[in-house]
Structure 1
Amino acid sequence: MAKQIKVIHCPHCGSIHKREIKPQVYQCQNCSTEYYLDSDDTHIYHHYEQPPLRPSSAPPGNNRLPIILLIGCIAGILIIYGVVVGFQPKKASTYTVSNFKLPRMYYDSFVYTNTLTGDPVYLRLGTDRAGKGNGAEELETHAQFNRVTDGKLLVDRVVTNETFGKKRCALSFKTYAPDLIYAIGCNTQLVQLDVEHNELKEVTQEVFKDFPQLSSGVARLDFDYSKAMINVMNNEGKSYFYFPTIHRLVETQAQAEEVWKMEFDRHFFEFGYLGGPFDENRDYQLIETTYARATGEVKRQNLTPGRKYFAPRILHQDEQDLLIVVNTTAAPNPPLTIQRLDVKTGEILWALPPDTYTLQNAVKCRQGFAIEYRRGPEADYVHGVLVVSPTGKIIQEYTLSRTE
């Protein structure tokens, strides 16, 4: 019977690579398994021996040793770093906290004389941004009082009044006497300037509390510039007339005229014209008016006949002194000059050199006269107060920049 020839595979790994170690006994060259064939080639017997493990060259030791060594190295590095940093000199911090604050924004001013010292004081109203915490801000109105002669800050007061303080209303001032100066704020509030203690006081209710006609409240206030009185309208729309120097309130214009005639002597100067309405040469005249309540007689005269004025106006007047401002020529926007005139003769006692500025108001003080001025864009809008001696010498110029 013919035999079928088959490829002999290793019974363990299946490799066909083998070597014969004795008759019909083979050893796999891949896995060293020994096997042989039985007589009829139907069975394969094999013997497998695992190769012995190679002994390690490293001695036996603790398996946690590498971890311990790693932790020790890290701890050592941290200790060395801490020692080095601790002994290094500390550098001064270059970080600074910014305390920047926006400058105060001024919106109104007035010069007056403190009646206790006789010195001129420059009052300015302005607003600050006041921090209220958590990044919140609100506008805070301040009344700042500076002595003109040296610029010293006398007092800086917060205006707490809800109306002209919060709304930042400009104040219009009027002087009724050296120690009685009123201002109107927001057209509804009467404010008194305390010329002794340098303070603004809201006095609307205090002044009008004696008049039942105004119990409904004040709707509007206006200064009357032809008489020493204040026009008052109550919240019911009814108009009245109040005379501050005698503390009297009347209801009609006729009553106001009667009080003005019976209670007040008058002596004042104004620029006008005494001629007829159809005269050809209607030039400005400096008119002196005198009224005596005892007799009811009115006298008017041209104090400076023959003198020509260009855009004149009264800057300050009282019984002893008269300051006027005139343009130097008839040209548009010419320089101005301030002149002091003799109240009896109209003679020019002195005149300041021509200059380009706007004059706000003037007041008499112990040094002479204090005159508030403002300059235009050619001088970067500087402003301040001139102090002029009785003889016409500028003895002090308190000057502030446009933002002051």
Structure 2
Amino acid sequence: MAKEIKVIKCPQCGSTAKTELKPDFYRCNNCHTEYFLDNDDVTINYNHNFNHNLNLPFNNDSSKKVIKVIALIIGVFIVLTILINVISAIFSPKSVATTSSVYSTGPAPAEETGFSASRYSPDLFIQAGSDAAIAIVAEDRRYKAKSEVQKDGVYIAFYTPGKGLVAEHKVEGTHVSTSDIKFRTFSDGNLYVIANKSTLYVVDKSTLKLTDAGKKFFSAKEELQVGVATIEFVYEDNGDGLILLTNDGKKLYYYPLVQKLYNENKYYEARKGFSSLLPGAKEKVIHVFTRKSSDYPEDKLQLIKIRYKDNGAGPKDVVDNLSWGKDYGGSGIFTDRDPYKKVLFSDYTRQADRILDWKDLTPGRLYFEPEVMFDDGSALLISFKPDANPNSGYKLQQLNSQTGAVEWTVDESKGSEIKRMIRYKNGFIGVTNDEELLQFDAKGKLTSTYKIE
């Protein structure tokens, strides 16, 4: 059948520009649509291939329609994206839109509260009237909330098991550190605090408040009316004394409980010998471990029981460093060829330290890194390692102070050392180097623990 001649137009864009690929098969030169002709009815079939890189002529009606369709699709997509993000922002306050400029602010996070602290030399006492164990510490605080940064600084703080922080006192002044806070219990039973070498406080053990004790103590001596520039405690084995620097530049040693004031020379005389004892001096017993001797390095460490004359609240020089040595009978330069005696106390030392007599409480026993933890004349607690292994843990042990017999022994926690102990509720309570309070009953059983924080 003969073919009817017609103008062949692209069924996609209407263009008559075309390229014949094979008989009756064409490709539109304008939109690259491929199409072919059926015989008889000249039906045009096409395979449309859209070229994304093709720039369509804008004066072509079909091209304009295509652009409008594409624009409509893009517009619908943008509108849907915005609607989805708006809905997400409404129902999810914490979400943030990432494909549009719609953001969710949500509520501001709560400000962190509390403080972090480094602590120094915790001490212990029993609160008057409540029988609660109280730990007093110097702590350097840094508050976490920006609104509380003005509270940063050094504090004298009181903690008790079960309640935590129960009282506090901020130490005023610039350049204060926790090492500038010192605690000392005097023979009157009161706990005294020196803050920044400038103020002497006494702790009210019932209210846990600090009272300025220096004003009362210093007003008793005319020599101190010029004012006191700095205050320090004497060494603990020298008794209940203070080292003062007055505003006129004098260094003095003051024992406020007996109102005795000494210069350098008089102070040395006052703490040595029997002749300088104050009225009311009494006999007292202490226990001291010997230390490694340079003269006899192979000797075992011993627990020595010493009876001596105690000068009460006055100057003293209580033995705290004891070792065996060679006594050549006088002063001078000697060699091993000179005669000597092996002594623990020379005649001079016995006189100067007011020693009446002494004995080895546990003869033959072997000790490693021992220390007396508590000694009140009736109860004696020691801490030691069971052997020479540096990784061995410490043991806490109660001895009979008359016979040296072991009454109980417990293991201390590995890596934790008890630094101080006091009597507490028919037992003892101690504070460790990592600021933990440990309570023991009278048989040495650990009954409770509390972490200072």
Question: What TM-score do the two structures reach when normalised by structure 2?
Answer: 0.58
Deviation of 1:202 after TM superposition, in Å, equals 4.0
Instruction: Tell me, yes or no, if the aligned pair for 2:128 and 2:205 is still in contact at 8 Å.
Output: yes
Q: In structure 1, what is the Cα distance between the partners aligned to 2:197 and 2:277?
A: 24
Q: What residue is the counterpart of 1:304 in the other structure?
A: 362
Deviations 1:330-389 (A, max 9, x none): 1224211111111111111111124321222111112411110135xxxxxxx3100001
- Kindly indicate whether residue 199 of structure 2 is the aligned counterpart of residue 189 of structure 1: yes
Deviations 1:21-70 (A, max 9, x none): xxxxxxxxxxxxxxxxxxxxxxxxxxxxxxxxxxxxxxxxxxxxxxxxxx
Three-state SS of the structure 1 residue aligned to 2:368 is coil
Q: In structure 2, what is the Cα distance between the partners aligned to 1:159 and 1:136?
A: 14
Deviations 1:65-105 (A, max 9, x none): xxxxxxxxxxxxxxxxxxxxxxxx99999414623235231
Q: What residue is the counterpart of 2:290 in the other structure?
A: 272
- Kindly indicate whether residue 414 of structure 2 is the aligned counterpart of residue 362 of structure 1: no
Q: 1:176 to 1:136 in 2, by over 3 A?
A: closer
Letter aligned with residue 408 of structure 2: W
Three-state SS of the structure 2 residue aligned to 1:307 is coil
- Kindly indicate whether residue 128 of structure 2 is the aligned counterpart of residue 115 of structure 1: yes
Three-state SS of the structure 2 residue aligned to 1:391 is coil
Q: In structure 2, what is the Cα distance between the partners aligned to 1:391 and 1:278?
A: 40
**Structure 2: runs of 5+ lacking an equivalent:** 1-89, 94-104, 312-353
Q: In structure 1, what is the Cα distance between the partners aligned to 2:389 and 2:403?
A: 29
Deviation of 1:284 after TM superposition, in Å, equals 1.6
Q: What is the percentage of aligned positions where both structures have the same residue?
A: 18
Q: 1:244 to 1:105 in 2, by over 3 A?
A: same
**Structure 1: runs of 5+ lacking an equivalent:** 1-88, 376-382
- Kindly indicate whether residue 121 of structure 2 is the aligned counterpart of residue 103 of structure 1: no
Letter aligned with residue 359 of structure 1: I
Letter aligned with residue 167 of structure 2: D
Deviation of 1:395 after TM superposition, in Å, equals 0.7
Q: What residue is the counterpart of 1:124 in the other structure?
A: 137
Q: In structure 1, what is the Cα distance between the partners aligned to 2:293 and 2:388?
A: 24
Q: Which protein shows a greater Rg?
A: 1
Three-state SS of the structure 2 residue aligned to 1:329 is coil
Residue 210 of structure 2 is aligned with which of 200, 204, 210? 200
Q: In structure 2, what is the Cα distance between the partners aligned to 1:226 and 1:353?
A: 29
Letter aligned with residue 272 of structure 1: T
Q: What residue is the counterpart of 2:181 in the other structure?
A: 171
Residue 323 of structure 1 is aligned with which of 375, 378, 381? 381
Q: In structure 1, what is the Cα distance between the partners aligned to 2:154 and 2:295?
A: 52
Instruction: Tell me, yes or no, if the aligned pair for 1:313 and 1:326 is still in contact at 8 Å.
Output: yes
Three-state SS of the structure 2 residue aligned to 1:312 is strand
Q: In structure 2, what is the Cα distance between the partners aligned to 1:246 and 1:297?
A: 23
Alignment of 1:1-400 (within 5 A): 94-96=106-108, 98-101=110-113, 103-108=115-120, 109-126=122-139, 127-129=141-143, 137-148=150-161, 151-153=162-164, 155-162=166-173, 167-177=177-187, 179-214=189-224, 215-235=226-246, 236-251=248-263, 252=266, 253-257=268-272, 259-260=276-277, 263-265=280-282, 266-272=284-290, 278-279=295-296, 281-292=298-309, 298-356=356-414, 357-375=416-434, 383-400=435-452
Letter aligned with residue 162 of structure 1: G
Number of aligned residue pairs: give it.
Answer: 301
Q: 1:308 to 1:163 in 2, by over 3 A?
A: farther
Question: What TM-score do the two structures reach when normalised by structure 1?
Answer: 0.64
